Chain A
Amino acid sequence: MQLRPQIQIQTIIKAMMEDVIPALDQTNQLAMQSAQLTIGTLMLISQHLPLEYRYDCDELARLLASAETLQAQAKGIAKTRDTLTKLTAASHAGADVLRRARAEPGEIVEAVRELRAATAEAVSAVYAEGDEAAQSAVEKTVLSMSKEQLLRDRSWLLMQGWEPDPKSVPAIETLLAPIAKS
């Protein structure tokens, strides 16, 4: 998917700064302040987005380490038993999540892009060098794979209003496979 928040935020900020703010009534303090805060917030989101996942994993790892220390330190204190039971359960759940959180979102996007490029190159190579049967087989594979992906791409962008028959496109939530738990 080429249309991602990074480029959207970048272009919104530019439009706000070059077109919207200069057109505002400069004496309207509330409007001017809101516009500046809109830009500031977007800049903040832009800075946070690529790091958000790593930020949360980093905190989770630190919390798990300190939970382990806390359990040792609070062990034997009678009134902490229930609390420690809860802490243990939360630690187990947190450790499971962290164990499964191996690749960063950026790595997944990069892997998708690498595979897209390699697939495209392979398709061109088959058309350049392969016989009729190989070309026909590759055509079927690419069309079938693209059909599934495009359904998701179009659903992802349904709100933009490009679809001639939007009702024929299922909601994105129903199309995405759940993340495997193990």
Chain B
Amino acid sequence: MQFIDKDKPSPQWIAATRKQFQVEREIDRALTCKMEKRSSPPYTKLPLAALVKGVTALIGSQLKTPFEISDAKWLAGGASKLQMAFKLHWDRPGVGRDITRMVLRNDLAEALHATSRLREFQVVRALDGVIPTPPVFWVDNVGEHLPYPGIVYGFVSGITKPSDAKSGVTGLGTYMPEEVRKKLAPQFVAHMAQLHTFDFRSADLSAFDVPKPGTQNAEWAVNWWDRVWAEDSDEQVPLVALASSWLHKNAPAVEHLSIVHGDFRTGNYLFDEADCRITTWLDWELARIGDRHQDLAWSTSHAFSVPAEDGKTLLVSGLMPESEFLEAYEKTSGLKVDRKALHWYQVFNAYSMIAMTLATSYRVAHNGKSHQDILLAWLLGVGYMLLDEMLGLIEKGA
């Protein structure tokens, strides 16, 4: 069998992989950039001063009036980003002299997924006023000013779980007490419905490709993770090969295109602990124009489910039983839940998560490319539970 050194990929192999898996242009750019930089040195800890210098350069390239940055400090950023909080003293357009709390989300040498900061910037800006999103200010899509690509958001307060709640790493398996669930669940459904019924065609989403009617949307989606698996995996998994073939064979046509968040679950929104109001939705880097069933299926994944107090009923994203969730979604959005499409996207989502955990987590940690290699190596283990979930879904048939 031909050996391919994925730690030092040749330009020929990168070109062949790009040709083999057709994906959206900006996703292709982000994945190609990842592969072209793969043989570069491991990630070394960045001092806070390097991010301050970078963000100063980024903001300086956008503002014509004097500004100052103060109170810079690290924020916990999860497995895929570095985050720095800071205050910007500036002449804010339409406001005047202002001190604004901001957050820089900065990429790493490599992360759980190679995505585009420009897409994130555009989609968050487009959704301003549609569902709660953080204000977004500036983007450095290629690391022109920052050490790695990054995006500057306005700071939004809130928590991802009640202060006394338990959860696993990166917010997986967060248990919400019943009184909190009752307040969060309707907002969770309403925000998803508002997202999926938003008319994206009037927004500036130039970094997104709009799929043609039919199965192109699903094909692009599978190709994305086929390519990630090809680029990042170490050990092959026959079930993954089967799943990829199964997904291509049974790809559903989309009848209504929506903006899809791509990681719509508890852990990716902030809420106010006092009144349980969702203050913002975070982590838009996997967003795409696609089929709403992708988000519906993602939210219902067992990886994000938590048993209720009876120990039996699984709660979607720790909030409500699946049947209740889907019924509420249909009622709120006016859009039907097609069980066949939902099933296909459940297989697809498991497939993408398997690629992220078993392939990318391994590759990033193996090459020492992140600030939390130990977390990525730990996350690798969830891949086997996801494989088992995917197996059960494929067994149910198309």
State the A residues within 8 Å of B (CB). 1-3, 7-8, 10-12, 14-15, 18, 113-114, 116-121, 123-124, 127-128, 135, 138-139, 142-143, 145-147, 150, 153-154, 156-157, 160-164
Q: In the complex, what residues of A have CB within 8 A of residue B373's CB?
A: 10-11, 14-15
Given that A7-B366, A12-B374 are contacting pairs, would A143 and B388 also be in contact in the complex, using a CB cutoff of 8 Å? no
Given that A2-B235, A117-B236, A150-B388 are contacting pairs, would A160 and B381 also be in contact in the complex, using a CB cutoff of 8 Å? yes
Structural contact, B238 and A142, CB atoms closer than 8 A: yes
Structural contact, B377 and A11, CB atoms closer than 8 A: yes
Q: In the complex, what residues of A have CB within 8 A of residue B384's CB?
A: 150, 153-154, 156-157, 162
Among candidates A1, A123, A163, residue contacting B242 with C-beta atoms closer than 8 Å: A123
Identify 13 residue pairs between A and B in the complex whose beta-carbon atoms are under 8 Å apart, listed by A's number. Answer: A7-B366, A11-B374, A15-B373, A118-B1, A127-B245, A127-B248, A143-B394, A145-B238, A146-B238, A154-B385, A154-B388, A163-B385, A164-B302
A1 to B378 CA separation, bound complex (whole angstroms): 13
**Which 9 residue pairs are nearest across A and B when measured between Cβ atoms?**
A127-B245, A120-B241, A153-B384, A11-B374, A15-B374, A117-B236, A146-B239, A11-B373, A162-B385
Given that A12-B374, A145-B238 are contacting pairs, would A164 and B382 also be in contact in the complex, using a CB cutoff of 8 Å? no
**A123 to chain B: closest residue by CB:** B241
* Extra pairs beyond A10-B368, A154-B385 (6, CB < 8 Å): A116-B236, A120-B238, A143-B391, A143-B395, A150-B384, A150-B391
Q: In the complex, what residues of A have CB within 8 A of residue B383's CB?
A: 2
Least distance between A180 CB and chain B CB atoms (Å): 24
Q: In the complex, what residues of B have CB within 8 A of residue A135's CB?
A: 245, 249
**B362 to chain A: closest residue by CB:** A2
Structural contact, B382 and A162, CB atoms closer than 8 A: yes
Least distance between A112 CB and chain B CB atoms (Å): 8
Given that A7-B366, A154-B385 are contacting pairs, would A143 and B242 also be in contact in the complex, using a CB cutoff of 8 Å? yes
B103 within 8 A of A: no
Structural contact, B249 and A127, CB atoms closer than 8 A: yes
Structural contact, B1 and A117, CB atoms closer than 8 A: yes
- Mark B54-79 against chain A: 1 for CB-CB distance below 8 A, else 0: 00000000000000000000000000
A150 to B387 CA separation, bound complex (whole angstroms): 8
A157 to B239 CA separation, bound complex (whole angstroms): 19
Q: In the complex, what residues of A have CB within 8 A of residue B376's CB?
A: 11
B27 within 8 A of A: no
Q: In the complex, what residues of A have CB within 8 A of residue B45's CB?
A: 18
**A132 to chain B: closest residue by CB:** B249
Which residues of B230-244 are within 8 A (CB) of A? 234-242, 244
Q: In the complex, what residues of B have CB within 8 A of residue A1's CB?
A: 235
Which residues of B309-355 are within 8 A (CB) of A? 314
Question: Interface residues of B toward A: which range?
Answer: 35 or more
Structural contact, A114 and B1, CB atoms closer than 8 A: yes
Given that A123-B245, A146-B387 are contacting pairs, would A3 and B374 also be in contact in the complex, using a CB cutoff of 8 Å? no
Least distance between A129 CB and chain B CB atoms (Å): 11
Q: In the complex, what residues of A have CB within 8 A of residue B138's CB?
A: none
Total of A-B residue pairs, C-beta within 8 Å: 117
**B302 to chain A: closest residue by CB:** A164
A123 to B373 CA separation, bound complex (whole angstroms): 32
A32 to B388 CA separation, bound complex (whole angstroms): 43
Q: In the complex, what residues of A have CB within 8 A of residue B238's CB?
A: 116, 119-120, 123, 142, 145-146
- Mark B101-135 against chain A: 1 for CB-CB distance below 8 A, else 0: 00000000000000000000000000000000000
Structural contact, A124 and B244, CB atoms closer than 8 A: yes
Q: In the complex, what residues of B have CB within 8 A of residue A128's CB?
A: 245
Q: In the complex, what residues of A have CB within 8 A of residue B388's CB?
A: 147, 150, 154
Q: In the complex, what residues of B have CB within 8 A of residue A14's CB?
A: 368, 373-374
Given that A143-B391, A162-B385 are contacting pairs, would A124 and B245 also be in contact in the complex, using a CB cutoff of 8 Å? yes
Most-contacted residue by chain B among A7, A138, A161, A162 (CB, 10 A)? A162
Structural contact, A142 and B358, CB atoms closer than 8 A: no
B380 within 8 A of A: yes
Among candidates A18, A120, A127, A145, residue contacting B240 with C-beta atoms closer than 8 Å: A120
Structural contact, A142 and B377, CB atoms closer than 8 A: no
Least distance between A10 CB and chain B CB atoms (Å): 7
Structural contact, A164 and B242, CB atoms closer than 8 A: no
**A8 to chain B: closest residue by CB:** B377
Structural contact, B380 and A164, CB atoms closer than 8 A: no
B365 within 8 A of A: yes
Structural contact, B377 and A120, CB atoms closer than 8 A: no
**A14 to chain B: closest residue by CB:** B373
**A117 to chain B: closest residue by CB:** B236
Q: In the complex, what residues of A have CB within 8 A of residue B365's CB?
A: 7, 10-11
Structural contact, A164 and B391, CB atoms closer than 8 A: no
B246 within 8 A of A: yes
A153 to B244 CA separation, bound complex (whole angstroms): 21
Structural contact, B394 and A139, CB atoms closer than 8 A: yes
Given that A116-B238, A119-B238, A153-B387 are contacting pairs, would A3 and B381 also be in contact in the complex, using a CB cutoff of 8 Å? yes
A162 to B302 CA separation, bound complex (whole angstroms): 10
**B45 to chain A: closest residue by CB:** A18
A123 to B236 CA separation, bound complex (whole angstroms): 12
A18 to B314 CA separation, bound complex (whole angstroms): 39
B305 within 8 A of A: yes
